[in-house]
A = this chain, B = another copy of it.
Amino acid sequence: MSRGYIIPIGGAIDKVQDPAILKRFVKLCGGKNARIAVIPTASSERSTGQTYEEIFLEFGVLRSVVLPFESRADCAREDWLAILEESDGVFLTGGNQLRLSTTLGGTPAAKLLRIKNQNGLHVAGSSAGAAFLSEHMIAFGDEGSTPRHGMVALAPGLGLTNRIIVDQHFRQRDRLGRLLTALAYNPFAIGVGLDENTAAFIDGDENVEVVGTGGLTIVDPSNIEYTSADLAFSAQKGEPVSLLGVRLHILVRGDRYNLHTRVAEPALKHSEQR
């Protein structure tokens, strides 16, 4: 069985007017047969999990359950792990991504999510939930579009993939600079900047499809000729970082990108092919 989808979402999801992202997620998970688990750990508001639980039930799924992991001990609860085990899709809400990594990291729940995703479980995360999906997570940072020394803090994430570093609320919070700074440290990963109400649906063959109303910014640093990020430890915080040879794509609804070949294709081309 191939890997399940990895679905980072940029936050501020439209749940009412045109819930295209959530509907696509439910369809992927089996529609009327879908069994979905909601993990609200990132959020400090108790109602967050329940809101999503109810939306998925309104879409007519077979099962929608909140698993409110609040402590590391919760993440070893056999009854909750059994629900994860039987799920087709998992949805991580927004909030604070460090709440996710400190609570779930290294626990049986995190291990199960990695193994199940490898075997077909679809895992979506919005905002903080999106940041957490990858091996390298942006924990926090400063605003602004110029990369600057010390403007971003990385931490280990869930580790479903190490090919991408995700940032969310991307243009709404002017985060190009911190994503570029993160990539400058080591130009092996691809930057995925997600606007609000915008999702990247990444399948097991590393095809990315954009769903939602905003833009997806792809930052491919693989051909960078030079970066001054190695001066970080001696530079003053806030000094700009030089980066020569970054490749950038802005994708919108229907556009595609492959994380393996690093080739972008417009939506138009797919229509022509059909």
Contact = CB atoms under 8 A, between A and B. Distances in A.
Interface of A: 71-73, 96, 98-99, 101-103, 105-106, 110, 135-137, 139-140, 150, 153-157, 159, 162, 184-189, 221-222, 224-227, 229-233
Contact of A233 (B72, B106, B140): B140
A101 B140 CA distance: 21
Given A102-B230, A156-B185, 7 more contacts: A72-B224, A98-B231, A136-B136, A136-B156, A137-B186, A140-B233, A162-B162
Nearest to A159: B162
A103 B155 CA distance: 21
Nearest to A229: B102
11 contacts: A71-B226, A72-B187, A72-B224, A73-B225, A102-B185, A106-B187, A110-B188, A135-B162, A137-B186, A139-B233, A159-B188
A262 to B, nearest CB: 11
Given A139-B185, A140-B232, A222 B101 contact: no
A209 B157 CA distance: 28
Contacts of A155: 154, 185-186
A230 B98 contact: yes
Number of copies: 2
A250 B188 CA distance: 34
A150 B186 CA distance: 20
Nearest to A106: B188
B98 A185 contact: yes
A29 B202 CA distance: 41
A72 B228 CA distance: 12
A135 B156 CA distance: 9
Contact of A186 (B73, B156, B230): B156
Contacts of A188: 105-106, 110, 156, 159
A232 B139 contact: yes
Nearest to A154: B154
A224 to B, nearest CB: 7
Nearest to A241: B102
A103 to B, nearest CB: 8
Contacts of A230: 96, 98-99, 101-103
Contacts of A233: 96, 98, 139-140, 153
A24 to B, nearest CB: 29
A186 B157 CA distance: 7
A110 B186 CA distance: 11
Nearest to A230: B98
A113 B104 CA distance: 31
